[in-house]
Amino acid sequence: MWIHAASVGETLCALPLAEALLEARPEMRILFTTATVTGSEIVARHPLYGQRIIHRFIPHDVPRWLRRFLNLWQPEGAIFVESELWPGIIAACSRRDIPVMLVNGRLSDRSARLWTRLGDPARRMMKRLSWVAARGPEDAARFRALGALPVYEDGDLKQDAPPLAYDEAEYARLRGLIGDRPVFVAASTHPGEEELVLQAAERARSFQPDLLTIIVPRHPARGAELAARFDLPRRAAGQDPTPQTQIWLADTLGELGLFYRLADRCFLGNSLAGKGGGHNPFEPLRLGVPTATGPKMENWREAMATVSDTIHIVNDVECLTRWLESPLPPVRTTGLQRSVVSVLRDRILKTVER
């Protein structure tokens, strides 16, 4: 089975589905492709990597290269995640009668407009899909409007994911270093947001002088630049927080589960500056962490509706500061689990067995 996920978020979303398929079919092996190095690193950490899970980078959408790729791997089926729609790859699979399935289908307003402008080529591509499992009604309606059929509304795979993994020994070590200090985690921040977080944290320290702020940039490669610009100790350089540390830069990959468990509250990035779009709100909420985001959560509208009575929206530095100074709110963790994985697993297996 071939599964393709673009980067880190899509890979984390797809791995539980891969595990469910492998459990259901003991003879199955999975070719897992990504478009980024960070995505490949997540796959490489899986216990079955190198045994039943193989990683390669996705080939460019070039006919000659696609022929070589498909001749080599001969997948039984192809599963693309979220918005990974490659016309050449889908057409090449269709010519070989390889079913192509889109899971956790996501189509933003902007992407839908772009595909609509393409006209017939886009509709031909959509009709070649065996089926689409959309995240929710809005995405499903956009896929149907572009000609995809059938389109299912199974729910969001990210809502169905288990709590993020973490290293228990490292958690105990860091908890010992931090003690009972309040901890604020700014997770998956994008350019322009670190400055806003630092301003809010500085103001909040007048209310909580021992506040420790942990900044986790979405792309760890930005760590050296951020550390130099703001004079911050960084985890990737082996620098631990001390009792005097006010801001700690956690520029490592795949450790959000650790930092969320250390947090008293967190802010989700890609939501307050720049183009935005947001990140997965279920991950901190599933762990009971009081969570705030900016208003730019367009990619997570349906998820935000699900957690609207739990998550807090901050519009600027002033709002974020007031939230940091407010009493810790309770977090409702019920309703964050749905059996999306099992539904998709069964549908995939039925599709490839026809």
Active site positions, annotated: 10
Contacts 24+ apart (CB under 8 A), 43-51: 43/11, 43/15, 45/254, 46/15, 48/19, 48/22
Rounded distance, CA 151 to CA 156, Å?
Answer: 14
Kindly report whether the peptide bond that precedes residue 150 is cis, defined as omega within 30 degrees of 0. yes
The contacts of residue 114 (CB under 8 Å, 6+ apart) are none
**b/e map of 113-138 (b: 16 or more CB within 10 Å)?**
eebeeeeeebbebbebbbbbbbbbeb
| DSSP codes of every residue in 71-91 | HHH--S-EEEETT---HHHHH
The contacts of residue 221 (CB under 8 Å, 6+ apart) are none
Edge-to-edge, what's the strand order for the sheet holding 151-153?
53-57, 30-34, 2-5, 78-81, 100-105, 131-134, 151-153
Residue 150: strand, helix, or coil: coil
C-alpha distances in Å from residue 214, one per residue of 8, 38, 265: 20, 21, 11
Rounded distance, CA 15 to CA 310, Å?
Answer: 27
Rounded distance, CA 336 to CA 341, Å?
Answer: 14
Query: Among all chains, which residue has been given the structure tokens 């192809």?
Result: 78
| DSSP codes of every residue in 287-307 | TT--EEE-S--GGGHHHHHHT
